[in-house]
Amino acid sequence: MNAEQAVNLVEPTLANEQGHCLSLVRAVCAAGGGLAWRLWVDKGARLPELEAPAVRIEPYFNRRLRKLQLPFLYRRLLARPGSILITTAGRVDLLALALAARGVIPPGKAFAWFHWMTLSPSKRAFFERFARRQPNVVVLGTTPSVERALRECGFAHTAVVPYPATLDTGLVPAAPAAFRHVLFAGAARGDKGFRHVVDLVERLHRCGESIPVWVQASADHYDKVDASVRADLERLHRIGYAPLTIARNTLSAREYVEAFAGGICLQPYDRHAFADRVSGVLLDALSAGCPVVTVAGTWMARAVKRFDAGAVVDEASAQALHEAVLYVRENYARMQENARRGGEALRHETSLAALIERLKRSG
């Protein structure tokens, strides 16, 4: 591995093959031909999908101590050849870089990729101080509004790098599937509206419906489930809706893709949290030709409306979601084709080529 061309990709929560964290890192590494990658991940990580001649996996982070470990790792990497790419950056990463740096970080050395941005007065003040003291750090945003917020904090080097579409389309069935089920894919989380999914299942049961529902109830990083989500999971089990399937275990890539075939993907996500936050699940759904039902005022809603690839509800009530599902089912063939075309367009628009070129120039 050529140390001069090595990119040290830092993703402390990456521990296994569950969720979009793996998909994102895999997409970045796959796009980065000619670069050597060192992946700094959870110390117990098992990541056979990422093993490749140009990829070295460095198990490093302790789950509970990772925030304390970051400054020590960044100090070590700043002193070595090669660049640093923080794929899901946050305030804690900039704080760790500030603590680790001995002077001004040189140009082309550190790249921080932000996927969403909420700025309290104290957070904004910190970002502004960091931008003044470390003018060479490149900060990237997944959407124009994230990039604009970073630029307004005084960062001199900013760019929009969209979250990439990462689904392996080679696993998508070639022939369109007839409607098969309503699905909720990804981590069971409060900000992803999991309680609304449970409310919908309750309504379907009360109404005597027979619409199949498939729920991926995997937890977020490190199998964490908060109390409210745990209560909703228990409620889901108690409903007794016969055509309900709950997938609790980590899915293989093929199983995950197959779940979208013939599906209507529910995304009753929190309007505030996802107003301009990219959803990997939506990118996956459209790439698989799966229409989406989501909430107005979100990034997902804009994509669904743009391609007419599903339905948008004003509020995520059980009744509104039920009616939206029935509407999409009635127009399924058309919306399925629109979803597929939308997925193709978004895959092209979310290319990582510009990011990789920046990283190559830094080597």
Q: Which pLDDT tens digit goes with each residue over 215-235? A: 998 655 445 668 899 999 999
Average pLDDT over residues 79-84: 96
pLDDT more than 90, % of the chain: 80
Average pLDDT over residues 131-148: 96
User: Same structural domain for residues 208 and 74?
Assistant: no
Sheet of strand 83-86: strand arrangement: 55-61, 36-42, 6-10, 83-86, 110-114, 138-141, 157-160
User: Same structural domain for residues 97 and 212?
Assistant: no
- Considering all CA atoms of the chain, what is the largest pairwise distance in Å, rounded to the nearest integer? 67
Average pLDDT over residues 85-111: 97
Average pLDDT over residues 326-352: 96
DSSP state of 5: G
Paired tokens of 285: 């759904």
Which CATH number fits the domain that encloses residue 141?
3.40.50.2000
Chain centroid to CA 3: 29
User: Same structural domain for residues 154 and 33?
Assistant: yes
3-class DSSP string for 22-33: HHHHHHHHHHCC
User: Same structural domain for residues 141 and 285?
Assistant: no
Side-chain-side CA neighbours of residue 95 (13 Å)? 10
Q: Is 70 exceeded by the pLDDT of residue 134?
A: yes
User: Same structural domain for residues 138 and 260?
Assistant: no
Taking a C-beta distance cutoff of 8 angstroms, is the pair 221, 15 a contact?
yes
Cα-based angle 254, 27, 4 (whole degrees, multiple of 5): 145
For 265, the domain range is 169-347
User: Same structural domain for residues 102 and 182?
Assistant: no
Q: Which pTM was predicted?
A: 0.88
Q: Which pLDDT tens digit goes with each residue over 27-77? A: 999 998 789 999 999 999 888 888 889 999 999 999 899 999 999 999 999
Residue 5 banded pLDDT, cuts 50, 70, 90:
low
How confident is the model at residue 249, as a pLDDT? 77
User: Same structural domain for residues 90 and 70?
Assistant: yes
User: Same structural domain for residues 183 and 321?
Assistant: yes
User: Same structural domain for residues 7 and 142?
Assistant: yes
Question: How high does pLDDT run on average in the chain?
Answer: 93
How confident is the model at residue 105, as a pLDDT? 98
The number of folded domains in the chain is: 2
Q: Which pLDDT tens digit goes with each residue over 249-305? A: 778 888 999 999 999 999 999 999 999 999 999 999 999 999 999 999 999 999 999
User: Same structural domain for residues 270 and 159?
Assistant: no
User: Same structural domain for residues 86 and 150?
Assistant: yes
For residue 84, the tally of other CB atoms under 10 A from its CB is: 26
How confident is the model at residue 222, as a pLDDT? 47
Taking a C-beta distance cutoff of 8 angstroms, is the pair 249, 271 a contact?
no
